[in-house]
Amino acid sequence: MSILDIILAIFIPPLAVFLKKGAGKDLLINILLWVFLLGIGGVIHAFLVLSKK
Protein backbone atom coordinates (compact mmCIF):
# COMPACT_ATOMS: atom_id res chain seq x y z
CA MET A 1 0.00 0.00 0.00
CA SER A 2 1.58 3.24 -1.16
CA ILE A 3 1.15 6.75 0.17
CA LEU A 4 -1.06 7.58 -2.82
CA ASP A 5 -3.32 4.63 -1.98
CA ILE A 6 -3.68 5.86 1.59
CA ILE A 7 -4.48 9.43 0.53
CA LEU A 8 -7.05 8.24 -2.00
CA ALA A 9 -8.59 5.84 0.52
CA ILE A 10 -9.12 8.71 2.94
CA PHE A 11 -10.41 11.38 0.55
CA ILE A 12 -11.89 9.44 -2.41
CA PRO A 13 -12.41 5.82 -1.33
CA PRO A 14 -14.24 4.65 -4.49
CA LEU A 15 -11.32 5.78 -6.66
CA ALA A 16 -8.84 3.91 -4.48
CA VAL A 17 -10.91 0.73 -4.73
CA PHE A 18 -11.36 1.18 -8.49
CA LEU A 19 -7.61 1.54 -9.04
CA LYS A 20 -6.92 -1.57 -6.96
CA LYS A 21 -9.76 -3.90 -8.04
CA GLY A 22 -11.35 -2.33 -11.13
CA ALA A 23 -15.08 -2.01 -11.72
CA GLY A 24 -16.78 -4.80 -9.83
CA LYS A 25 -18.62 -5.73 -6.69
CA ASP A 26 -16.01 -4.19 -4.38
CA LEU A 27 -16.44 -0.83 -6.12
CA LEU A 28 -20.22 -0.99 -5.88
CA ILE A 29 -20.08 -1.92 -2.19
CA ASN A 30 -17.66 0.92 -1.53
CA ILE A 31 -19.81 3.49 -3.31
CA LEU A 32 -22.89 2.39 -1.37
CA LEU A 33 -21.03 2.50 1.94
CA TRP A 34 -19.52 5.88 1.09
CA VAL A 35 -22.90 7.40 0.26
CA PHE A 36 -25.08 5.85 2.95
CA LEU A 37 -22.65 5.94 5.86
CA LEU A 38 -21.51 9.51 5.14
CA GLY A 39 -18.01 8.58 4.04
CA ILE A 40 -16.58 6.68 6.99
CA GLY A 41 -17.94 3.32 5.80
CA GLY A 42 -16.29 3.82 2.42
CA VAL A 43 -12.98 4.75 4.02
CA ILE A 44 -12.97 1.65 6.22
CA HIS A 45 -13.94 -0.59 3.31
CA ALA A 46 -11.27 0.98 1.08
CA PHE A 47 -8.58 0.24 3.67
CA LEU A 48 -9.82 -3.35 3.96
CA VAL A 49 -9.71 -3.81 0.18
CA LEU A 50 -6.29 -2.19 -0.14
CA SER A 51 -4.83 -4.30 2.66
CA LYS A 52 -5.81 -7.59 0.97
CA LYS A 53 -3.17 -9.28 -1.14
Residue 28 pLDDT: 95
| pLDDT value for 49 | 94
Residue extents of the structural domains in the chain? 3-51
DSSP 22: -
> Quick one: pLDDT band at residue 2, thresholds 50, 70, 90?
confident
Which whole-number Å values give the CA distances from 49 to 25, 34, 41, in the listed order?
11, 14, 12
CB 16 within 8 A of CB 44: no
